[in-house]
Amino acid sequence: MSANAALVLFSGGQDSTVCLAWALERFQRVETVGFAYGQRHSVELTQRRIVRDSIPDIVPHWADRLGPDHDISLAELGRLSETALTRETEIAMTKAGLPSTFVPGRNLLFLVYAAALAYRRGISTLVAGMCETDYSGYPDCRADTIRAQEEAIALGLDKPFKIETPLMYIDKADTWALAEELGGAPLIDLIREETHTCYLGDRTKRHDWGWGCGECPACRLRARGWQEWSSKQV
């Protein structure tokens, strides 16, 4: 297992794109994995390829470090999930106190499947964009969950294993700042023009921060972070 390699859970959204750039700065070999699980915003599967093809042009040494991409189908997850992220239903708060976009077990399954792939590829580090600072309250985005999953994977594979979450304790404004630090204006522009975060899959409306409906929780978080970060720029 190589300590100089990482597998990035890469959806093609803002957070996973920043995580990919972060990994490309730190590891000699970086591979990516995406998941098709019947998501309502399936346009992200198209955008992730566009973003991935474009990111090596931003920093010269990134091109040498970026390795293969992998696609994994988790269609059963979409079938089992009666959520606003996998059904044409209204986005609202549920009786459980979570938004109806919460897909139970999604990140847990992502990490298990990614770990199985990483094991086969000789990689001992996963990089993922979970965040508990500026998020929708999903329990599988919290640091305690990720640490428990990391320990379970290491035990189950009988190998040292690491899950890196570089965005865990920063807000969306700081995520924009990290993007600028890693890739300057070209990375900011790529995130604005090509990444997709909107839960409704809307790419008909262009905002300062990128494309999306502007109303769903993901768009609101992204917009607020952009406003906070851009207001500090000279």
Q: Given this model, what pLDDT does residue 203 score?
A: 95
Nearest in space to 106 (alpha carbons), one of 138, 137, 129, 131: 138
Could you tell me the two tokens for 128? 């993922």
Identify the band that residue 84 occupies on the pLDDT scale cut at 50, 70 and 90.
very low
**Summary mean pLDDT of the chain:** 88
Could you tell me the two tokens for 162? 């690491």
- What is the tally of structural domains in the chain? 1
Q: For residue 233, is pLDDT > 50?
A: yes
Residue predicted with more confidence, 195 or 108: 195
Contact 210, 193 (CB under 8 A): yes
Reported residue count of the chain is 234
CATH number, domain of 39, equals 3.40.50.620
Contact 163, 48 (CB under 8 A): no
The string of DSSP codes covering 119-166 is HHHTB-EEE----SSSS---GGGSHHHHHHHHHHHHHHHTS--EEE-T
Q: Given this model, what pLDDT does residue 234 score?
A: 64
Domain encompassing residue 78: 5-230
Using CA atoms, how far apart are residues 212 and 233, in angstroms rounded to an integer? Answer: 23
pLDDT, mean of residues 84-89: 52
| C-alpha angle 166-171-177 in degrees, rounded to nearest 5 | 75
Tens-place pLDDT, residues 41-75: 678 889 999 999 999 999 999 999 999 999 998 87
Tens-place pLDDT, residues 134-157: 666 778 889 999 999 999 999 999
